[in-house]
Structure 1
Amino acid sequence: MALNPEDLSGGFQHYTVMAFINEKMAKHVKGPEFYLENTFLSWAEVEDKLRDILEDSGMPSEAKDACTWSCLALGMRFAHRQSQAHACRMQRLHDFNKLHKSAAQTLASNLRELSVQQDMDRKEVAYNLRLTQAKLEEVERERDMLRWKLFQAEVKLFSEQEWIKEGPGLATASETATGAGACTPPRPAAAFTATSPYSEPFDGTPRSDVGTQGKGPQEPGRGRAAEPQLQRRLPAFRMPGDWDCPWCKAVNFSQREICFRCGGEIWLQKP
């Protein structure tokens, strides 16, 4: 028998069908031989061989019929083998699909975790930013406080320097009034006001009646008799850059542009 009922790869499920085909193939010896020789060939090769047999005029008709039934059995065997291959491919595709589905679920889970982590990081960064802004505001307040203290220290130092520059003249006047052995306490720097050495007080505006040589107008009683008194008001020392007022002869700091005593501007001493 060409077809074995125990061979599951033959493609036939019923014994009656296999017996009928075996009977048809057994009518000629060429039928079983054709089946056994071409069992593992492809369908295209089997069909080409059957075509050569059918076209052979010397081949008897019983052999052609037997080869035809053998070709039918081989076709069923090939179809069964193809169905098994397709089933294996489908199973592999199904497994691959399951693997992709599992990977997609894992990626979705990782994406959710990443979103939660990014949200937490964003909130932490926002909190740190607010904390940094609060610290920056505190530092700015401390900076403003330090600037204010520095300004007060500069004002105090400036007042002390003004008092030191005015000290020798006050000490000379006090020694003349009280004697060589007496000593009066010095006047504070705040007691000196920006008043003009002339009869009228200085109103803070520069003089407009200045001559071509940068000297102020001469008033009655304010000529040479006032110069010794102005000379006595000069300080005992001066720093580089300090300048003399061309009107009242007072020594001013280098950073001043207007005389602290009479209000004369520094440009008056320039030709």
Structure 2
Amino acid sequence: MALRPEDPSGGFQHGNVVAFINEKMARHIKGPEFYLENITLSWAEVEDKLRAILENSALTSEAKEACAWGSLALGLRYARRQGQLHTCRVQWLQDFTNLHKSALQTLASNMNELTAKHEMERREAAYQLQLTLAKLAEVQQEKELLRWKLLQAEMASSWQRQQVSQEPGLATTSVFGANGAGEEKTRRRLLLLLLLLTAAVEEGGKQKDAEGV
């Protein structure tokens, strides 16, 4: 018996169909031989061999008919094998698609994490820059304040020196006349004006500091 009912790769589902085809192939010895010899071939190769048998005038009609039934069984077996291969290909494509989808999801998750990390680093850098600029402005303000204090100290020292130098100057005034006295008064007024301006600037800086706090 060429066909076996328990063989799932044969493509047949019913035992009576298998028995009928076996009976048709068994009417001539060429039928089972044709089936077993070509069981691994493709349908195109089986068809070519069947055509050669049908065109062979030396063979009887019973042999040709038995080979035709064998080719029918081989065709169904080949279709079954191709269906199994197609199922395997579909399963492989599904697995590959799932793997590709999983890889894309992982990549998207990594990209989101990297973007969030970069955003945090950017905000931290911006915050540090603001702190640095604020400290720089504070240092600049302190520098200006110290400069004004230094100028004030220099002006006060100059004023004191001028006062000391003018103590015995009454006689000098009488000697040099009214012009010398007028110039001296002008210098004193200028020094006093500079001291007042320095004090005003310093007071304005303190008020700005108080408003900033």
- TM above 0.5: yes
How many residues end up aligned between the 2 structures?
172
Counterpart code for 1:51: R
Say whether 1:186 aligns with 2:127: no
Post-superposition offset of 1:101: 2.2
2:177 and 2:53 map into 1 onto residues whose CA distance is 148
Q: Deviations for 1:177-207, whole angstroms, at most 9, x for unmatched residues?
A: xxxxxxxx6338xxxxxxxx89768x99xxx
Aligned residue in 2 for 1:68: 68
2:64 and 2:138 map into 1 onto residues whose CA distance is 108
1:13 and 1:90 map into 2 onto residues whose CA distance is 23
Post-superposition offset of 1:51: 1.2
Post-superposition offset of 1:155: 5.2
- Percent sequence identity is 61
- Give 1:171-210 correspondences, 5 Å limit: 186-187=165-166
Distance 1:200 1:75, change over 3 A: same
2:132 and 2:165 map into 1 onto residues whose CA distance is 51
Say which is worse superposed, 31-40 or 94-103, in terms of deviation.
Answer: 94-103
Say whether 1:54 aligns with 2:54: yes
Aligned residue in 1 for 2:5: 5
1:126 and 1:90 map into 2 onto residues whose CA distance is 53
Post-superposition offset of 1:87: 0.8
Counterpart code for 1:55: E
Question: Which is greater in Rg?
Answer: 1
Post-superposition offset of 1:156: 6.7
Counterpart code for 1:15: G
Q: TM-score, normalising length from structure 2?
A: 0.70
Counterpart code for 1:47: E
3-state secondary structure, aligned to 2:165: coil
Say which is worse superposed, 84-93 or 136-145, in terms of deviation.
Answer: 136-145
Post-superposition offset of 1:29: 0.7
Post-superposition offset of 1:154: 5.9
1:48 and 1:156 map into 2 onto residues whose CA distance is 123
Larger RCO (CA within 8 A; separation ≥ 6): 2
Runs of 4+ residues deviating >3 angstroms: 149-157, 197-201
1:49 and 1:154 map into 2 onto residues whose CA distance is 122
Q: Structure 1 unaligned runs (5+)?
A: 164-184, 189-196, 205-271
Q: TM-score, normalising length from structure 1?
A: 0.56
Counterpart code for 2:69: W
Q: Deviations for 1:89-116, whole angstroms, at most 9, x for unmatched residues?
A: 1111111122122222222322332333
1:81 and 1:96 map into 2 onto residues whose CA distance is 22
What is the root-mean-square deviation of aligned Cα atoms in Å? Answer: 2.7
Aligned residue in 1 for 2:35: 35
Counterpart code for 1:90: V
- Give 1:170-249 correspondences, 5 Å limit: 186-187=165-166
Q: Structure 2 unaligned runs (5+)?
A: 168-175, 184-213
